[in-house]
Amino acid sequence: YGKLGATPVSTPSMIRFGQLTEDELFVTAAAAKEGVRIENPSRTDPLVILKHFGPGNPDAEPLRKDR
C-alpha cells in the first residue's frame, strides 16, 4: 500500500468478483512533467510499479525491441 500523489494505492493478493481495487492509475503527461510523489509507508513490503510509456517518449526508446 502507499500513495501516488494524493491517491491511495494498494495491490491486493486476492480480488473478489465485483470488488474495486486501487492498483491501476494513469498519470497525465502534464503531471509527469511536474513530478509525482510516490510514498511507501511500509517497513517490510515493497511498492512495485509497472510503467507504460506513451508514444514518442525518448526514455522508452532504449527499451524497445527491433521488430
Give the per-residue pLDDT at 23.
Answer: 80
CA dist., res. 49 & res. 4, Å (int):
10
- The 10s digit of each residue's pLDDT in 26-64 is 888 888 889 999 999 999 988 888 777 777 777 777 777
User: Which residues, 6 or more positions from 38, have their beta carbon under 8 angstroms from its beta carbon?
Assistant: 2, 3, 4, 47, 49
Is residue 21 over pLDDT 90?
no
